[in-house]
Structure 1
Amino acid sequence: MDEIIPDFTHETLALGRGAIRVVGVDEVGRGPLAGPVTACAVLLDAKRIPDGLRDSKVLTREKREDLYLRIIDVAEVSVAHASVEEIDSLNILRASHLAMERAVAGLKADHALIDGNMIPRGLGCDGTAIIGGDGLCLSIAAASIVAKVTRDRIMVDLAQQHPGYGWEANAGYPTKAHLEALQNLGVTPWHRRSFKPVHNILYQELSVSS
């Protein structure tokens, strides 16, 4: 099957409808048990689009790092987060939308192309939801790369503070090694207490101590 390569069609359509600052938006980190959820908005210059932009999930780490630097060099970029506390108090969907809203606000966009099937309610500008947008739309692909690289770096830093959970490799996702470390080492302040594996361990500890 031929590879689907993202293009500038959605941006061109929005610009043709009168938008001036059209950004692509993506988030990373809904599934992990630990760490923030990270969103990015990218405003590409149509004349300076880096070659090789793809959905971050299909790129190697080395290719993502290379493209990250090239995107930062030629585009307007805004990165934002929702904290573990916000994830636990709001729920992961609303927290990921909050991170997106913050990222978009950083670029004063008037139209946002959002990866997924929902437009965050506090976006502050017009928006278009694009299912599979990180594989179809160049601006969203760029946003997916910057968000992924940024969050991976955060988790590497946190892994140095809390060794043993493998965050430098698993980015907080529930791998076998991470789940075993949760059982053996316990819950850190960076774990999402509303997520079932973490909640269950806390409940076990509560039951044992009571």
Structure 2
Amino acid sequence: MLTGRGAVALLALSGLGCGTGGEVPDAAGGEAADRPRAATGSVAEVPSGAKRAPDDAFRTLEGGEASLHDLRGNVVIANLWGTWCLPCRDELPELVELARSYAGRPVIVLGLAVESGDPEEIRDFLADFGADYPNWMLGMDDAVATFEAVGFPTTLIVDPEGWIRKALLGPQTVESLGEEIEALLP
């Protein structure tokens, strides 16, 4: 019998919940140590329902490392996906269009490729869709433990201060993500 991460990973791989759309249940709040400190040393207000984006380093397709912390100052649409995930494939054209429509603005579409092969395989796969936005790689355990992914695709909406405002399960559209982005832009 599977328990813990193994059961969640199996659920994610089986595709349950994929394509249903909707928000992932929230484990928000974060620990006080994760919250920003105001100049006075007090804990600053956490946006309602938000959780601090992790500062973990992930491997880029170019062989370097990067973290969500590096992207602060931008609205980040972080999409956990896999080459093996059919709903993820259906969603890719929407993400490509979204990235192009926000080019030159403080918005970054970021792919987080989960268990999807080596960098060359991922680049080839993305090229078939014309996806030229940044993509990083992570394993299933990281997707589950770090981002609490329960299915794929999962899209995280991260505000410019580094707070995950929403986690959306299932394929998203340019329109639905555009509304989320516009709500966070000045």
Structure with the bigger RCO (C-alpha within 8 Å, sep 6+) is 2
State TM-score, norm by structure 2: 0.27
Find the structure with the greater CA-based Rg. 1
State TM-score, norm by structure 1: 0.25
Q: Which has the larger helix fraction?
A: 1
